Amino acid sequence: MTSLFDPITLRQITFRNRIWLSPMCQYSADDGMPNDWHLVHLGSRAVGGFGLVMTEATAVVPQGRISPQDTGLWNDEQAAAWRPIVEFLHAQGAAAGVQLAHAGRKASMYAPWRGEGSVPIADGGWVTQAPSAIGHGEHPAPVAMSPQEIAATVTAFAAAARRADAAGFDVIELHGAHGYLLHQFLSPVTNHRTDAYGGSFENRIRFTLEVVDAVRAAWPAAKPLVVRISATDWIEGGWTAAESADLARILRDRGVDLLDVSTGGLDPAQRITVGPGYQVPYARDVRTKAEMPTGAVGLITEPAQAQQILHEGSADVVYLARAALREPAWPLRAAHELGVAAADAPYPPQYRRGVWRG
């Protein structure tokens, strides 16, 4: 039986366990630069035993940020600021991952505790871009991207991948989920283009494949590439689970090593049935049909639940998000509850005195 604490190797990177930290926005950067908050936030999860510690959605261009306070990798100064954070994660035994992203029409938003809706240009916001000029809910409509802007964005993803390597990251995850730019191209709800990037399934996946190809070429062959997808829009006429499985097979053959399978986030019209592990069946579907590793995410909160996901073959790793915000050392509790020997649990030596007893 596969255990949460079994190592897993993708390409030439071995992860100490299968409990991975999901990307979670912190809205705490200045001009895309990570800082002490990111060091402590990410570093505490490495100390807490996670096998992979993933950054928040990190923009490849300034206009790709979800909020003005998002982190970035569009210049070398940002890469230099990420390096000491990555080195700390490595020193604690964790692998370091960066999620590269472009928010498309969902960019230029207020951080949740700073306000609601879109940030006006006068207050530091910007005009957003998307495959089509269709706004998200009541937010301002974006500008439809020209072919030249699409090509420039592909180039920006590749440049960010090279900076990620310079910063020492072990893994890149491309954010193709939750209604951000890659997802917007995939879904017929947000992609009404009539050129080579719209219409048929083959056309709607074109931008994603161009980004994957460019990043894979810029990223060392020894390091794994992950893509996060929303397996369904939860909207009639939207992106479907069947299309996700078809896309997964194509991504597998183009050098993607694992799919992080989430759902939804594209449009306020979505109708989601939420419950513990509600997205896990989609990870299992992709894993089975595409015959490639997957990560499961979504209301995974308890160690026995996470262990069962691996045992039943639904996924190869589990990603924790909100549970990890509440409990930075969740893997250490999981080790105790699952009966993992203290010597095999990911305790840093400074914390050995705190090993669970009883």
Q: CB count, 10 Å around CB of 58?
A: 30
Name 350's bridge partners: none
- From 180, 197, 282, 319, active-site residue: 180
Catalytic residue check, 180: yes
Name 281's bridge partners: none
**Cα–Cα distance, 262 to 296 (Å, whole number):** 7
In the numeric block, which tokens belong to residue 317? 């790793």
| Contacts by residues 283-286 (CB-CB < 8 Å, ≥ 24 positions apart) | 283/231, 283/259, 283/309, 283/314, 283/315, 284/312, 284/313, 284/314, 284/315, 285/231, 285/241, 285/244, 285/245, 286/229, 286/231, 286/244, 286/245, 286/248, 286/259, 286/261
In the numeric block, which tokens belong to residue 71? 């982190």
Q: How far is CA 8 from CA 17, 224, 317, 318, in A?
A: 7, 12, 9, 12
Give just the sign of the alpha carbon dihedral 341, 345, 350, 355.
Answer: negative
**Cα–Cα distance, 225 to 10 (Å, whole number):** 9
Q: How far is CA 322 from CA 23, 59, 195, 280, 328, in A?
A: 10, 22, 40, 16, 10
Catalytic residues: 180
